[in-house]
Chain A
Amino acid sequence: MDTTKTIITMSSITYAMKAKDYLNGLGYWCEVERTRKNIGSGCGYSIIIKDDPDLIAPLLERRHIPYKGIYRL
């Protein structure tokens, strides 16, 4: 089983929560966390996903949920 996780940095905590809400509703695992220091500067929030980001990112775009960057752990 591939346990690789991906961090997607978000524009705001509201968008992070909305993304989690949306992805969980579609059956994808997703959690919100504070953006890690080695990734972002200043305050910010990210979502962590287990599924392929090439699958998840278009879903977010389709729902008009902006994100900043994608980082594989």
Chain B
Amino acid sequence: MNGRNVINFDNSAGTYPKPAAVRQAVAGALQKVGGNPGRGGHALSMKAAQQIYEVRRRAAQFFGAEIENTAFAPNCTYALNMVIKGLMQYGGHIIISCYEHNSVSRPVYALTKNSGVKCSIAKIYDDTGQTIAEMEKLIRRDTLCICCTAASNVTGRILPYREIGELARRHGIAFVCDCAQAAGVIPVSIDDGISFICTSGQKGLYGPSGTGLLISSGEFALSTIIEGGTGATSGELVQTPYMPEKLESGTLNTAGLIGLGAGLDFIKSKGIENIRSHEAALCGYFQRELQKLDVHIYDADKERVPIVAFNINGMTSEETAAKLSEGGFALRGGMHCAALAHEALGTSGSGAVRFSPSVFSTRQQVSALIAYIRTIM
């Protein structure tokens, strides 16, 4: 396939197509916004800085945060690394869930190997009360934070992030929330008891790739893991202490971030609830049709963001994804960079196939996919 006629049901990895307004914003930025924001007083730099500030203001508003606590990152993985390592680089204990993406589990694993950090992995139960009670038992005197995803990138299962935030707040520890799959389909906010929201810009926020957000409640200071030019206090060797520049060393992805701003406007105009209900309806339809076939669906009975993870019995996930690709459908098979989650699901060997629509997906496209799946079984 040349990609021209492919139907994208791998929007959890990156929404495509992008809204016209996002494409136009990026093109316009490349054409008209040529300065380096925060790196001078000339007209080009100041114009770029104003545009970046406007995106920052909209992102802050979107997540209920203060403007200065809204930092840009190249992607969600970078944001998570900056927060986890910024909180834990001098040791301590961290709790993560059994549903984490490698962007959480790998930096934590590296810290346990290199920095003496201790880690506990919390199980997620069907009953939220049990999940919180068991998680609370894991909290120790040296626990510094709980880090978990708001929604699994494998099955879409929504974790009780508000209750976990409340638990963390009661114990005076930080709550780091990976919102890569939740942002744009669930109204996550700093007001949900989250100390740090880390998210991708190129998934549910409909921005370009190479954009991400690190949003802080302002309650916990982070050590930096990357230092360099920030455009502030340049005459000193010590990293600027002021947020957000403290966490934004190096030139920002100006065009991409202006595109992200357009993505945020797009979501606002559509409405998060409308986006989620459209995508959830497509997932419901897809799941009901799959259940008529010889297929296993994971976390089928759980509250989820719009994702359906499945395996066709007798086929590996990679085989299924390859056959679907031959038919012009982009779905992701394998491990989804989520070793822990697949272990929890019992799919470490086989992985799973992930279906994830976007606001642009249609029922006709899903019908075509279902018809094609019938032909490959």
Tell me the complex Cα distance, A64–B50, Å: 20
Residues of A contacting B3 in the complex (Cβ-Cβ under 8 angstroms): none
Size bracket, chain A contacts: 10 to 19
Cβ–Cβ contact A13 & B41, under 8 A: no
In the assembled complex, how far is the CB of residue B58 from the closest CB belonging to chain A, in whole angstroms? 12
A17 within 8 A of B: yes
Tell me the complex Cα distance, A21–B54, Å: 10
Q: Which of A14, A41, A44, A45 contacts B56 (CB 8 A)?
A: A14
Cβ–Cβ contact A42 & B68, under 8 A: no
Tell me the count of chain B residues lying within 8 A, CB to CB, of chain A.
26
Tell me the complex Cα distance, A44–B232, Å: 5
In chain B, positions 212-257 with a C-beta closer than 8 Å to chain A are: 230-236, 240, 242-245
A72 within 8 A of B: no
Tell me the complex Cα distance, A41–B41, Å: 14
Please encode chain B, from 45 to 89, with 1 for each CB lying within 8 Å of some chain A CB and 0 for all others. Answer: 010011001001100000000111000000000000000000000
Tell me the complex Cα distance, A32–B240, Å: 20
Residues of B contacting A64 in the complex (Cβ-Cβ under 8 angstroms): 66
In the assembled complex, how far is the CB of residue A44 from the closest CB belonging to chain B, in whole angstroms? 7
Q: With A11-B242, A14-B67 in contact, is A32–B46 under 8 Å at CB?
A: yes
Residues of B contacting A11 in the complex (Cβ-Cβ under 8 angstroms): 232, 242
- Interface centre among A12, A34, A45, by most B CB within 10 Å? A12
Please encode chain A, from 20 to 46, with 1 for each CB lying within 8 Å of some chain B CB and 0 for all others. Answer: 010000000000111000000111110
Tell me the complex Cα distance, A15–B49, Å: 12
Cβ–Cβ contact A12 & B235, under 8 A: no
Cβ–Cβ contact B68 & A43, under 8 A: no
Tell me the complex Cα distance, A38–B41, Å: 15
User: Which are the 5 A-B pairs with shortest beta-carbon distances?
Assistant: A34-B41, A42-B235, A43-B234, A17-B53, A42-B234
| Chain B residues in the interface with A (C-beta under 8 A) | 37-41, 46, 49-50, 53, 56-57, 66-68, 230-236, 240, 242-245
6 contacts between A and B (CB under 8 A): A12-B68, A15-B242, A33-B46, A41-B235, A42-B235, A44-B233
18 more contacts with CB within 8 A, not counting A41-B235, A43-B39, are A11-B232, A12-B38, A12-B230, A12-B232, A12-B240, A13-B37, A13-B53, A13-B245, A14-B245, A17-B53, A18-B53, A34-B40, A34-B41, A43-B231, A43-B233, A43-B234, A44-B232, A45-B41
